[in-house]
Amino acid sequence: MHFIYNLLKEVINEVGSTKVVQVITDNASNCKGGGQLIEQEFPSIVWTPCAVHTLNLALKNICAEKNVESNQVAYEACSWISDIIGDVMMIKIFIMNHSMRLAMFNEFVSLKLFSVAETHFASMVIMLKRFKLIKSGIQNMVISDKWIIYRDDHQGRARTVKEKVFDDLWWDSIDYVLSFTAPIYDMIRFCHTEKPSLHLVYDMWDMMIENVKKAIYYHEVKLVHEESPFFQVVHEILIDHWNKNNTPLHCLAHALNPK
């Protein structure tokens, strides 16, 4: 905490505190603590948690919820998403960890089956989007004669891969995940640019949550006034992160934004 504080203070003193309105860090506790110390030292400067990092944490909480006692309700509602992502990871590893299977994949699919680091923003959504793009190619691969030859060392796993990529319900689940995470992903992409966005964040959070609700309610064939246990969990996750991200500076920028 004090290390972050000292780094920020050094830069502020270098440029002049009167020229600094805001400092932005991620949401780690040491960064938050450092930012709060800066606010105490310089009352005119506001610490703000990074909107992109906040959104990414919310997305991770939805797509990779932890199974702990304090989080049981959310885990039960969202664990199926982790299962889908686990299936995709299993297929990716099965292909990429064998040189001949990888060569076969490159023969049938023009796109690369790249690895996305967990630290990359929206890594899970990016991976699912890529799998959608390679659907037909990977299906053609697992029904080819070459697949039969190169599956011999792991026949059980090869059979599971084939079953998954031809399971329409599995692909429907991927489509569903991509549909209700799309508003979050789009907001991450919008905020993760050099364009000023502080004045838009307040409205964008509201709009994003509403679009997530529309996607979930459309899939569940529910009317707006009906309750959705799944959306309630997702909504609580998003609101919790928004409350942590929201600052007086966001409210002021929203109020001063000409419309």
Segment 179-221, tens digit of pLDDT = 999 999 999 999 988 888 888 998 999 999 999 999 999 999 9
Which domain, by its residues, includes 140? 62-176
Query: Does 79 lie in the same domain as 138?
Result: yes
Name 46's bridge partners.
22
Residue 136 lies in a domain: yes
Query: Does 109 lie in the same domain as 26?
Result: no
Residue 31 lies in a domain: yes
**pLDDT value at residue 185:** 95
Query: Does 6 lie in the same domain as 102?
Result: no
**pLDDT value at residue 183:** 97
Task: Give the pLDDT band (50/70/90) at residue 122.
Answer: confident
Segment 127-161, tens digit of pLDDT = 999 999 999 999 999 999 888 877 666 788 889 99
Query: Does 42 lie in the same domain as 69?
Result: no
**pLDDT value at residue 250:** 84
pLDDT at 119 over 60: no
Q: What is the mean pLDDT of residues 91-109?
A: 90
Residue 45 lies in a domain: yes
Helix, strand, coil percent values for the chain (each to nearest 5): 75, 5, 25
Segment 88-98, tens digit of pLDDT = 999 999 988 88
Segment 14-61, tens digit of pLDDT = 999 999 988 998 888 899 899 899 999 999 998 988 999 999 999 988
Query: Does 89 lie in the same domain as 1?
Result: no
Query: Does 68 lie in the same domain as 166?
Result: yes
Going by C-beta distance under 8 Å and a sequence separation of 6 or more, which residues neighbour residue 130? 111, 113, 114
Name 24's bridge partners.
48
Query: Does 12 lie in the same domain as 79?
Result: no
C-alpha 164/C-alpha 160 separation (Å) is 6
pLDDT at 228 over 80: yes
Asked whether the CA dihedral 42, 13, 200, 213 is positive or negative, the reply is negative
Query: Does 84 lie in the same domain as 45?
Result: no
Number of domains in the chain: 2
Query: Does 116 lie in the same domain as 13?
Result: no
Residue 191 lies in a domain: no
Q: Dig out the tokens for 66 from the structure.
A: 């932890």
Distance from chain centroid for Cα 220: 22
| Stated pTM of the model | 0.89
C-alpha dihedral (131, 133, 139, 145), degrees to nearest 10: -100
Task: Give the pLDDT band (50/70/90) at residue 120.
Answer: low
Per the model's pLDDT, the better-predicted residue between 69 and 90 turns out to be 90
Query: Does 82 lie in the same domain as 26?
Result: no
**Which of 124, 155, 176 lies at the terminal end of a domain, its last residue?**
176
**Which of 154, 176, 198 lies at the terminal end of a domain, its last residue?**
176
Residue 219 lies in a domain: no
The three-point CA angle 176-129-190 to 5° equals 95
Residue 66 lies in a domain: yes
Q: Residue holding tokens 């979050």?
A: 184
pLDDT at 227 over 80: yes
pLDDT at 118 over 80: no
